[in-house]
Amino acid sequence: MPNQLGKDDFLKILVTQLKYQDPLNPMEDKEFIAQLAQFSTLEQMQNLSNDFSSMKALSLVGKMVYAEKRIGNSSDIITILGRVESVSLYDGNIYLRVNGQDISMDDIVTVYSDDEADVIDGG
């Protein structure tokens, strides 16, 4: 989602508006309050989205997953099949630990049902 405006972008736009407004015709109070309310709503929506992603990751603990992980900047991809052992947060990104490796949520291709996982495990 790199092409989306975030709360920092919204705040920069608001500050720029205030900086370059006409001092003889300043922004109306109600306009300013409306923009602050929009900013607050945007921030709350982003927090909800982050919370949802965390809950989704936590629900995968113990589940069998298949992932394709790119090695550095190369076109080489390794495949990983295993159960999610834990969930970690590094630099604002969520990672799943599978077979001792940290996997980004974006690298997960398939999450298997318990029945499918039992077949894969050989049970």
pLDDT in tens, the chain (123 residues): 456 666 777 778 878 877 887 777 776 667 777 877 887 888 888 888 888 888 888 999 999 999 998 887 888 899 999 999 999 988 888 999 999 999 998 899 999 988 887 788 776
Q: What is the DSSP string of 14-32?
A: HHHHHHTS-TTSPPPHHHH
Predicted TM-score (pTM) of the model is: 0.61
Q: For residue 65, count other CB atoms closer than 10 A to its CB.
A: 20
Q: How far apart are CA 71 and CA 79, in angstroms?
A: 11
